[in-house]
Amino acid sequence: MTDINQVIDQMPIEVYERLRSAAELGKWEDGTVLSEVQRESTLQVVMLYQARKLEQTEHFTIAPDGKINELSTAELKKQFRGEPIAEFKVQDL
């Protein structure tokens, strides 16, 4: 059996993105629903990939040390300050 570390080291970003999407949506691209065991395993692989290969600093992402990045309220406010999420005109409402 292949070591999970070898799998992660050799995994192309496209495979990671498909696995992440499946874990988020609970189904594969073809619409096949993941079993609970498949979803848990897929999520574990996604988290390991994020920790080992992606340098993420966003809120609730996996850091290289395997811990979850948790930003304070002040850090989150600073990150989104001045950037409106959406703008509506009165007639749009």
- The pair of structure tokens assigned to 58 is 């966003």
- In this prediction, residue 12 carries a pLDDT of 93
Q: What is the pTM of this model?
A: 0.62
Which one, of 17, 4, 6, 73, lies nearest residue 50 by Cα?
Answer: 17
Q: Which residues of the chain have pLDDT under 70?
A: 1, 56-61, 69, 71, 76, 79-80, 82-85
- Does the CA dihedral 78-17-54-45 come out positive or negative? positive
DSSP β-bridge partners for residue 68: 62
Task: Indicate the domain borders of the chain.
Answer: 2-80
Structure confidence by residue, pLDDT tens digits, 60-81: 667 777 777 676 777 767 766 7
Give the Cβ contact number of residue 45 at 10 Å. Answer: 19
- In this prediction, residue 86 carries a pLDDT of 75
